[in-house]
Chain A
């Protein structure tokens, strides 16, 4: 019963909250969607903390997503022990970078007094959940080796079963508790996104790469306004 709740109910609730929550937050509280950078108040310590943490977490996140998207190819690759070894060690190394980063960031938050002013309660929750996630992830990788392989072969089917609305918890129920904690807290993490500053990764400004350097916004179509023909066009100008 408790398994069904934590491994089926909670994931669905989390994903539902994430999807609806992020859309509503963006649409109605778009102003609050910001990375809330604290570099202005303290820059030197942030350098190591933020750079390590972000480069680590981005790689780890991409790794999980790739495994989820193409599990079969991953299984094939990991049949070669050398490849398996390389991927496993790389992932673990990035895990350690992430851990070092988040520890430095937490230390900085506590030590630098100015930062207490810009730290909300939800920020503390974010620190806690990320720390849990990174530590359990590293422990799983250490105690239950070759996770690249069994993640693709055993855990991804469970995740996919959720996606196609035919939840099948059989595989994961029998897995070690460490893995279960990592999975459950991952869903909690997802559910928390709309309520925290984690929103910032959803608005990563990739579009910058292909937009013009100069950005001019017209509040109204000046040319159209000079002619009487267009009086009933009724098209709202795209406003900022």
Chain B
């Protein structure tokens, strides 16, 4: 057993209001630079929709992630030795137009335009070339447009949703949508790391953050192709690839990453998960319908004495183990099992989990017609407006039962809380819900509490970075200790 600690995240989609505050917080800190204008390390998509870059989930186009080839797990195109043949030109690399051409406005013109009979305008100009351009798309161009043919209908997750269901989905009365905030998943089995020929992309051992060494990056660009989430970006100006670094300078000082700290809906949770690194290869290459279960298996119970002993043996600090015990992510993912990874079928074992959206829960389908005036307050999960298969394609590798299980639990929590606060739920209904989901009133209250009430310190349980030892990340302190002093770092030993 090789126990390591991983900073993991949970996004509660029912709470996301799609305000893009996370994206802006990230943009202001990290990607407001030349060559990085088009990058959105964090972005928010509307589902159903095509996302950013357009249709990123369609690996027939972008060829990212791992595939199972017999018993072996291989990168779709970027691996050994294929990757090396693609350095001169990589036909599967997304180009700027797959994202969008960033732009600004010619504000100067408003001040400098000569006096005339017309009001001067600020034209859109490209942030790349500086020339006037006609804007054709942007990173959130599909915002709230889930009903439209260009965005909603082109969603790749509709591929195995029945034609009838799809038709019904796009009826005006039934149309629905939810938001999907996305960022780097800091995967346990990262494809970007595996694809980088220079070894510039790496996983930090201490907390599992996936980083790109800017010193070592040689612009071979294979990480961009390999990441199935398209969360590794190429900076066209510096000639280096960049990605989300989970605000590690903030993490190391005990602060939540900017996107999480700024989240208006407080949908984001961050905490430690302990996992067994020996199992990564085996679990990542299991059959597709087992992927979710196997991934849950890799995370270890931080309360188990054996796990604690092994973790200490592996050098994991006591403070990290304590953080793992308090981790909200552990509760959502492993204890309550109500958070699922996005597109587990990419086999990267993402460390970002989503509590799937329940909305709209009110109303239900009756004889193929959406009934919103029902006397019964909540419909059944199976009769919801959004076909379950669609959500299953997003969050459970196509397995409807998995997503149904989660939604039923979420529903039970709502029944329970409704009963506590309004007291108008039939007792038999509530009992049946508790029985079928295996929840208890206490657990339901705990889920409710963590979902709705907790403050900063409980949403973000960040392990101490041990600043007192942090200098050892850069140099050995003994170099200084045994030396001449006076601010000089020179040995006292004779050279000649």
Contact = CB atoms under 8 A, between A and B. Distances in A.
| Pairing of A with B | yes
B198 A205 contact: yes
B336 interface: no
B88 A219 contact: no
B239 A37 contact: yes
Interface residues of A, number: 57
Contacts of A36: 219, 239
Nearest to B95: A43
A25 interface: no
Interface string B159-203: 000000000000000000000000000000110011011110111
Interface stretch (B294-302, B440-448, B467-475): B467-475
B250 to A, nearest CB: 17
B204 interface: yes
Contacts of A50: 88-89
Given A39-B93, A205-B218, A222-B316, A214 B129 contact: no
Contact of A39 (B79, B90, B194, B201): B90
A217 B89 contact: no
B204 A41 contact: no
B83 A208 contact: yes
Nearest to A55: B88
B84 A239 contact: no
Interface string B189-226: 11001101111011111100000011111111100000
Interface stretch (A67-75, A132-140, A225-233): A225-233
Interface in A185-240: 200, 203-209, 211, 213-226, 231-237, 239-240
A208 B199 contact: yes
B472 A220 contact: yes
Interface-centre pick from A51, A116, A221, A240 (highest chain B CB count, 10 A): A240
A42 interface: yes
B25 interface: no
A113 B131 contact: yes
Interface stretch (A3-11, A27-35, A160-168): A27-35
A217 B204 contact: yes
Nearest to B237: A118
Contacts of A30: 215-216
B454 interface: no
B236 A234 contact: no
Nearest to B315: A222
Contact of A219 (B75, B80, B473): B473
A54 interface: yes
B234 interface: yes
B469 A205 contact: no
A28 to B, nearest CB: 11
A222 B90 contact: no
A35 B218 contact: yes
B421 interface: no
B189 A214 contact: yes
A31 B84 CA distance: 21
B280 to A, nearest CB: 7
A36 B316 CA distance: 39
A221 B478 CA distance: 14
A183 to B, nearest CB: 27
Contacts of B91: 43, 47
Contacts of B214: 31
A114 B128 CA distance: 7
B432 interface: no
Interface string B241-264: 000000000000000000000000
A46 interface: yes
Contact of B473 (A39, A220, A231): A220
Contacts of B236: 38, 40-41, 118
B88 A205 contact: no
A162 to B, nearest CB: 31
Given A205-B198, A225-B315, A226-B315, A39 B475 contact: no
Contacts of B84: 205-206, 208-209
Contact of B95 (A42, A200, A234): A42
A34 B472 CA distance: 29
A171 interface: no
Nearest to A212: B194
A34 B315 contact: no
A93 B90 CA distance: 24
B80 A208 contact: yes
A94 B193 CA distance: 35
A206 B81 CA distance: 10
Contacts of A35: 87, 218-220, 239
A117 interface: yes
A195 to B, nearest CB: 16
Given A35-B219, A40-B234, A216-B205, A233 B239 contact: no
Contacts of B436: none
Interface in B52-80: 75, 79-80
Given A50-B88, A223-B314, A236 B469 contact: no
B478 A232 contact: yes
B479 interface: yes
Contacts of A114: 96, 128-129
A200 B88 CA distance: 11
A114 to B, nearest CB: 6
B89 A203 contact: no
Interface of A: 30-31, 33-43, 46-47, 50-51, 53-55, 113-114, 116-118, 200, 203-209, 211, 213-226, 231-237, 239-240
- Top-5 shortest CB links A-B: A222-B315, A205-B197, A218-B205, A213-B194, A208-B197
28 contacts: A31-B214, A34-B219, A34-B239, A35-B219, A37-B219, A37-B221, A41-B96, A42-B95, A43-B89, A43-B95, A46-B89, A51-B89, A117-B129, A117-B237, A204-B87, A205-B87, A206-B84, A215-B201, A219-B204, A220-B206, A222-B315, A224-B315, A226-B312, A231-B478, A234-B482, A236-B475, A239-B473, A240-B213
Given A216-B205, A220-B206, 16 more contacts: A36-B239, A38-B236, A39-B90, A39-B221, A40-B96, A40-B221, A46-B89, A51-B89, A114-B128, A116-B129, A207-B199, A208-B197, A211-B199, A215-B199, A217-B204, A236-B479
